[in-house]
Protein backbone atom coordinates (compact mmCIF):
# COMPACT_ATOMS: atom_id res chain seq x y z
CA UNK A 1 0.00 0.00 0.00
CA UNK A 2 1.44 3.37 -0.98
CA UNK A 3 1.70 6.15 1.55
CA UNK A 4 1.51 9.82 0.66
CA UNK A 5 3.32 12.20 3.04
CA UNK A 6 2.70 15.93 3.00
CA UNK A 7 4.82 17.35 5.78
CA UNK A 8 7.65 19.84 6.03
CA UNK A 9 10.49 17.46 6.80
CA UNK A 10 14.23 17.35 6.36
CA UNK A 11 16.34 14.53 4.90
CA UNK A 12 16.81 12.76 8.25
CA UNK A 13 13.09 12.84 8.90
CA UNK A 14 12.36 11.43 5.42
CA UNK A 15 14.69 8.56 6.21
CA UNK A 16 12.87 8.01 9.50
CA UNK A 17 9.47 7.90 7.75
CA UNK A 18 10.84 5.49 5.17
CA UNK A 19 12.06 3.22 7.98
CA UNK A 20 8.71 3.47 9.73
CA UNK A 21 6.72 2.30 6.72
CA UNK A 22 9.17 -0.57 6.27
CA UNK A 23 9.53 -1.21 2.58
CA UNK A 24 6.27 0.15 1.31
CA UNK A 25 6.14 2.90 -1.30
CA UNK A 26 6.29 6.39 0.13
CA UNK A 27 5.54 9.49 -1.89
CA UNK A 28 6.77 12.72 -0.36
CA UNK A 29 4.88 15.80 -1.51
CA UNK A 30 7.08 18.30 -3.30
CA UNK A 31 7.10 21.82 -1.94
CA UNK A 32 6.38 23.06 -5.46
CA UNK A 33 3.19 21.04 -5.89
CA UNK A 34 0.17 23.17 -6.67
CA UNK A 35 -3.00 22.86 -8.67
CA UNK A 36 -4.69 19.47 -8.83
CA UNK A 37 -3.96 16.39 -6.77
CA UNK A 38 -0.64 14.73 -7.66
CA UNK A 39 -0.84 11.31 -9.27
CA UNK A 40 0.84 9.64 -6.31
CA UNK A 41 -2.27 10.33 -4.26
CA UNK A 42 -4.45 8.23 -6.55
CA UNK A 43 -2.69 4.99 -5.61
CA UNK A 44 -2.20 5.85 -1.91
CA UNK A 45 -4.15 4.06 0.80
CA UNK A 46 -2.67 6.19 3.59
CA UNK A 47 -2.01 9.91 3.89
CA UNK A 48 0.19 11.43 6.57
CA UNK A 49 -0.17 15.21 6.73
CA UNK A 50 -2.69 17.82 5.63
CA UNK A 51 -3.12 17.97 1.82
CA UNK A 52 -5.91 20.21 0.45
CA UNK A 53 -9.40 18.79 1.03
CA UNK A 54 -10.18 18.51 -2.69
CA UNK A 55 -7.05 16.43 -3.23
CA UNK A 56 -8.15 13.99 -0.56
CA UNK A 57 -11.63 13.89 -2.04
CA UNK A 58 -10.14 12.91 -5.41
CA UNK A 59 -8.07 9.99 -4.04
CA UNK A 60 -10.08 6.81 -4.65
CA UNK A 61 -7.90 4.28 -2.75
CA UNK A 62 -7.66 6.16 0.56
CA UNK A 63 -8.40 4.24 3.74
CA UNK A 64 -6.72 6.24 6.47
CA UNK A 65 -5.57 9.85 6.91
CA UNK A 66 -3.31 10.82 9.78
CA UNK A 67 -3.52 14.61 10.00
CA UNK A 68 -0.63 16.56 11.51
CA UNK A 69 -3.00 18.93 13.35
CA UNK A 70 -5.75 18.85 15.95
CA UNK A 71 -8.07 21.13 13.99
CA UNK A 72 -9.76 19.64 10.90
CA UNK A 73 -12.14 22.43 9.96
CA UNK A 74 -10.86 22.51 6.37
CA UNK A 75 -12.07 18.90 5.94
CA UNK A 76 -15.47 19.38 7.63
CA UNK A 77 -17.46 19.49 4.37
CA UNK A 78 -15.55 16.54 2.91
CA UNK A 79 -16.20 14.45 6.03
CA UNK A 80 -19.94 15.06 5.83
CA UNK A 81 -20.11 13.26 2.46
CA UNK A 82 -19.34 9.68 1.36
CA UNK A 83 -15.62 10.30 2.03
CA UNK A 84 -16.39 10.49 5.75
CA UNK A 85 -18.01 7.04 5.71
CA UNK A 86 -15.27 5.46 3.57
CA UNK A 87 -12.06 6.93 5.03
CA UNK A 88 -10.90 7.03 8.64
CA UNK A 89 -9.42 10.42 9.56
CA UNK A 90 -7.32 10.86 12.69
CA UNK A 91 -6.16 14.12 14.20
CA UNK A 92 -3.37 14.76 16.72
CA UNK A 93 -5.68 14.93 19.74
CA UNK A 94 -3.62 15.15 22.96
CA UNK A 95 -0.42 15.73 20.99
CA UNK A 96 -0.23 19.46 21.75
CA UNK A 97 -1.31 19.40 25.40
CA UNK A 98 2.09 20.16 26.89
CA UNK A 99 3.43 22.80 24.46
CA UNK A 100 0.13 24.68 24.26
CA UNK A 101 -0.27 24.59 28.06
CA UNK A 102 3.27 25.96 28.35
CA UNK A 103 2.45 28.82 25.97
CA UNK A 104 -0.79 29.52 27.86
CA UNK A 105 1.06 29.73 31.18
CA UNK A 106 3.87 31.74 29.56
CA UNK A 107 1.26 34.25 28.42
CA UNK A 108 -0.59 34.38 31.74
CA UNK A 109 2.63 34.92 33.68
CA UNK A 110 3.94 37.39 31.10
CA UNK A 111 0.86 39.59 31.46
CA UNK A 112 0.76 39.37 35.27
CA UNK A 113 4.53 39.92 35.67
CA UNK A 114 4.44 42.58 32.91
CA UNK A 115 6.93 40.98 30.52
CA UNK A 116 5.69 42.83 27.41
CA UNK A 117 6.36 46.21 29.05
CA UNK A 118 9.77 45.00 30.27
CA UNK A 119 10.63 43.93 26.71
CA UNK A 120 9.69 47.35 25.37
CA UNK A 121 11.59 49.12 28.17
CA UNK A 122 14.73 47.20 27.31
CA UNK A 123 14.38 48.04 23.63
CA UNK A 124 14.03 51.71 24.60
CA UNK A 125 16.97 51.52 27.04
CA UNK A 126 14.73 52.75 29.85
CA UNK A 127 14.91 51.77 33.54
CA UNK A 128 11.42 51.99 35.06
CA UNK A 129 11.62 49.46 37.88
CA UNK A 130 9.79 51.35 40.64
CA UNK A 131 7.25 52.62 38.15
CA UNK A 132 5.92 49.24 37.11
CA UNK A 133 6.67 47.06 40.15
CA UNK A 134 3.52 48.06 42.10
CA UNK A 135 1.37 46.95 39.15
CA UNK A 136 2.63 43.36 39.22
CA UNK A 137 0.00 40.77 40.03
CA UNK A 138 0.55 37.17 41.04
CA UNK A 139 -0.98 33.93 39.79
CA UNK A 140 -0.79 32.67 43.39
CA UNK A 141 -4.24 31.80 44.72
CA UNK A 142 -6.03 32.73 41.50
CA UNK A 143 -9.55 31.50 40.78
CA UNK A 144 -9.27 29.80 37.41
CA UNK A 145 -12.04 28.95 34.95
CA UNK A 146 -11.12 26.33 32.38
CA UNK A 147 -13.43 26.19 29.38
CA UNK A 148 -12.59 22.82 27.91
CA UNK A 149 -11.69 19.50 29.47
CA UNK A 150 -9.26 18.17 26.88
CA UNK A 151 -5.56 17.52 27.12
CA UNK A 152 -4.57 21.20 26.98
CA UNK A 153 -6.92 22.19 29.80
CA UNK A 154 -5.79 19.23 31.91
CA UNK A 155 -2.12 20.07 31.40
CA UNK A 156 -2.71 23.77 32.15
CA UNK A 157 -4.51 22.82 35.35
CA UNK A 158 -1.58 20.59 36.35
CA UNK A 159 0.90 23.42 35.69
CA UNK A 160 -1.19 25.84 37.77
CA UNK A 161 -1.69 23.48 40.74
CA UNK A 162 1.45 24.54 42.67
CA UNK A 163 0.32 28.18 42.45
CA UNK A 164 -2.45 27.30 44.89
CA UNK A 165 -5.18 28.11 42.37
CA UNK A 166 -8.79 26.97 42.60
CA UNK A 167 -10.43 25.58 39.48
CA UNK A 168 -13.82 25.43 37.79
CA UNK A 169 -13.77 23.36 34.61
CA UNK A 170 -16.51 23.32 31.97
CA UNK A 171 -16.77 20.54 29.40
CA UNK A 172 -19.17 19.97 26.53
CA UNK A 173 -22.02 19.75 29.05
CA UNK A 174 -21.45 23.33 30.23
CA UNK A 175 -24.45 25.22 31.60
CA UNK A 176 -24.81 28.95 30.97
CA UNK A 177 -25.81 29.93 34.50
CA UNK A 178 -22.90 28.12 36.14
CA UNK A 179 -20.42 29.49 33.62
CA UNK A 180 -21.69 33.05 34.07
CA UNK A 181 -21.32 32.81 37.85
CA UNK A 182 -17.82 31.36 37.60
CA UNK A 183 -16.68 34.01 35.10
CA UNK A 184 -17.67 36.84 37.43
CA UNK A 185 -15.39 35.43 40.14
CA UNK A 186 -12.42 34.38 37.99
CA UNK A 187 -8.93 35.85 38.00
CA UNK A 188 -7.95 33.72 35.01
CA UNK A 189 -10.27 32.41 32.28
CA UNK A 190 -8.69 29.94 29.87
CA UNK A 191 -10.53 28.66 26.80
CA UNK A 192 -9.08 25.44 25.40
CA UNK A 193 -12.04 23.97 23.55
CA UNK A 194 -12.53 22.93 19.92
CA UNK A 195 -14.92 24.63 17.51
CA UNK A 196 -18.27 22.87 17.80
CA UNK A 197 -21.86 24.05 17.61
CA UNK A 198 -21.77 24.05 21.44
CA UNK A 199 -18.68 26.26 21.78
CA UNK A 200 -18.93 28.75 18.89
CA UNK A 201 -19.41 32.25 20.22
CA UNK A 202 -19.52 31.22 23.89
CA UNK A 203 -17.36 34.20 24.87
CA UNK A 204 -19.84 36.75 23.60
CA UNK A 205 -20.13 40.41 24.56
CA UNK A 206 -22.21 39.67 27.65
CA UNK A 207 -19.79 37.09 29.06
CA UNK A 208 -16.72 39.20 28.29
CA UNK A 209 -18.51 42.00 30.15
CA UNK A 210 -18.99 39.73 33.17
CA UNK A 211 -15.29 39.15 33.67
CA UNK A 212 -13.47 41.12 36.36
CA UNK A 213 -11.45 44.17 35.26
CA UNK A 214 -8.27 42.49 36.60
CA UNK A 215 -8.96 39.12 34.93
CA UNK A 216 -6.62 37.49 32.41
CA UNK A 217 -8.39 35.86 29.46
CA UNK A 218 -6.68 33.14 27.44
CA UNK A 219 -7.81 31.49 24.21
CA UNK A 220 -5.76 28.53 23.04
CA UNK A 221 -8.80 26.75 21.58
CA UNK A 222 -10.36 28.15 18.44
CA UNK A 223 -10.89 31.73 17.33
CA UNK A 224 -14.59 31.12 16.75
CA UNK A 225 -15.18 30.88 20.51
CA UNK A 226 -14.75 34.62 21.00
CA UNK A 227 -16.53 37.82 19.97
CA UNK A 228 -13.37 39.59 18.87
CA UNK A 229 -14.88 43.08 18.74
CA UNK A 230 -16.23 42.74 22.26
CA UNK A 231 -12.83 41.55 23.49
CA UNK A 232 -11.05 44.47 21.79
CA UNK A 233 -13.58 46.89 23.31
CA UNK A 234 -12.99 45.49 26.82
CA UNK A 235 -9.20 45.70 26.50
CA UNK A 236 -9.26 49.21 25.05
CA UNK A 237 -11.64 50.46 27.74
CA UNK A 238 -9.61 48.90 30.56
CA UNK A 239 -12.46 46.58 31.52
CA UNK A 240 -10.26 43.48 31.27
CA UNK A 241 -6.82 42.92 32.77
CA UNK A 242 -5.29 41.33 29.70
CA UNK A 243 -5.63 38.62 27.09
CA UNK A 244 -3.47 35.90 25.56
CA UNK A 245 -4.65 34.69 22.16
CA UNK A 246 -3.01 31.81 20.36
CA UNK A 247 -5.91 31.65 17.91
CA UNK A 248 -8.00 34.21 16.07
CA UNK A 249 -10.98 33.92 13.74
CA UNK A 250 -8.79 34.73 10.76
CA UNK A 251 -5.18 33.56 10.52
CA UNK A 252 -2.86 35.16 9.61
CA UNK A 253 -4.46 38.03 11.52
CA UNK A 254 -5.37 40.55 8.78
CA UNK A 255 -3.55 43.87 8.55
CA UNK A 256 -5.61 46.56 10.22
CA UNK A 257 -7.30 44.14 12.67
CA UNK A 258 -7.97 45.83 16.01
CA UNK A 259 -5.95 43.17 17.86
CA UNK A 260 -2.70 44.50 16.40
CA UNK A 261 -3.03 47.64 18.51
CA UNK A 262 -5.05 46.44 21.53
CA UNK A 263 -3.33 47.12 24.85
CA UNK A 264 -2.44 44.26 27.25
CA UNK A 265 -3.01 41.72 24.49
CA UNK A 266 -0.40 39.08 23.77
CA UNK A 267 -0.75 37.45 20.36
CA UNK A 268 1.12 34.16 20.24
CA UNK A 269 0.24 33.71 16.57
CA UNK A 270 -0.74 30.02 16.68
CA UNK A 271 2.76 29.02 17.79
CA UNK A 272 1.49 27.33 20.97
CA UNK A 273 1.89 23.82 19.61
CA UNK A 274 5.44 24.43 18.47
CA UNK A 275 8.58 22.78 19.71
CA UNK A 276 11.95 22.08 18.19
CA UNK A 277 11.11 18.35 18.18
CA UNK A 278 7.56 18.80 16.87
CA UNK A 279 8.08 16.99 13.56
CA UNK A 280 10.05 14.16 15.17
CA UNK A 281 7.24 13.69 17.68
CA UNK A 282 4.68 13.67 14.85
CA UNK A 283 6.61 10.96 13.03
CA UNK A 284 6.82 8.88 16.20
CA UNK A 285 3.06 9.26 16.65
CA UNK A 286 2.43 8.23 13.04
CA UNK A 287 4.60 5.16 13.56
CA UNK A 288 2.56 4.10 16.62
CA UNK A 289 -0.74 4.72 14.83
CA UNK A 290 0.40 2.94 11.66
CA UNK A 291 1.13 -0.13 13.76
CA UNK A 292 -2.43 0.01 15.13
CA UNK A 293 -3.87 0.48 11.64
CA UNK A 294 -1.91 -2.51 10.30
CA UNK A 295 -2.98 -4.65 13.24
CA UNK A 296 -6.60 -3.86 12.46
CA UNK A 297 -7.00 -1.84 15.64
CA UNK A 298 -8.81 1.49 15.81
CA UNK A 299 -6.19 4.20 15.31
CA UNK A 300 -5.81 6.89 17.98
CA UNK A 301 -7.47 10.27 17.47
CA UNK A 302 -10.26 9.15 15.12
CA UNK A 303 -12.28 12.32 14.57
CA UNK A 304 -16.04 12.55 14.86
CA UNK A 305 -17.18 15.19 12.35
CA UNK A 306 -20.61 15.51 13.98
CA UNK A 307 -19.10 16.16 17.42
CA UNK A 308 -16.37 18.39 16.01
CA UNK A 309 -13.32 16.77 17.67
Residues that bind its own copies (CB under 8 A): 98-99, 102-103, 105-107, 109-110, 112-116, 118-123, 125, 127-129, 132-140, 158-159, 161-163, 251-253, 255, 260, 265-276, 278
Nearer to its own copies, 61 or 158 (CB): 158
Q: Which is nearer to its own copies, 112 or 285 (CB)?
A: 112
CB nearer its own copies, residue 34 or residue 127: 127
Report the alpha-carbon distance of residue 242 to residue 238 in Å, rounded.
9
Q: Which is nearer to its own copies, 161 or 297 (CB)?
A: 161
Minimum distance, C-beta of residue 114 to its own copies, in the bound complex (Å):
7
Q: Going along 128-231, which residue ranges are E strands? A: 143-147, 166-170, 188-191, 216-219
- Residue closer to its own copies (CB basis): 111 or 290: 111
Instruction: Confirm if 46 and 63 have CB atoms less than 8 A apart.
Output: yes
How far is 215 from 307, CA to CA, in rounded Å?
Answer: 31
**Residue 119 or 291 having the CB closest to its own copies:** 119
CB atoms within 10 A of CB 12: 10
Residues 6+ apart with CB under 8 A from 100: 152, 155, 192, 220, 246, 272, 273
CA nearest neighbour of 22 among 49, 46, 51, 55: 46
Closest separation in Å from C-beta 78 to its own copies: 24
Cβ of residue 255: shortest distance to its own copies, in angstroms? 7
- Cβ partners under 8 Å of residue 150, min gap 6: 93, 94, 97, 192, 193, 194, 309
- Rounded to a whole number of angstroms, the minimum distance from the CB of residue 65 to its own copies is 22
Eight-class DSSP state of 302: B
The CB-of-228 to its own copies minimum distance in angstroms stands at: 15
Q: Smallest gap, in angstroms, from Cβ of residue 274 to its own copies?
A: 3
- Is 17 or 79 the residue whose CB approaches its own copies more closely? 17
Which residues 6+ apart lie within 8 Å of 284 measured at CB?
A: none
Report CA Rg, the chain: 22
Rounded to a whole number of angstroms, the minimum distance from the CB of residue 150 to its own copies is 17
Amino acid sequence: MAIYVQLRIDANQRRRVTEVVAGETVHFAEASEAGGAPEALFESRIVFGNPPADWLGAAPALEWVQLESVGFGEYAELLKGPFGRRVRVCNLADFFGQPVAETALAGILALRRRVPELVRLKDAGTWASEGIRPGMTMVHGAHVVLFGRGSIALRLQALLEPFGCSFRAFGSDWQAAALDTALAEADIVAAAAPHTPLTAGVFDRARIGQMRPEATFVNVGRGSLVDEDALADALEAGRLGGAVLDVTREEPLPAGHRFWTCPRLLLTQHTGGGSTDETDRKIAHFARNLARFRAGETPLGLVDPARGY
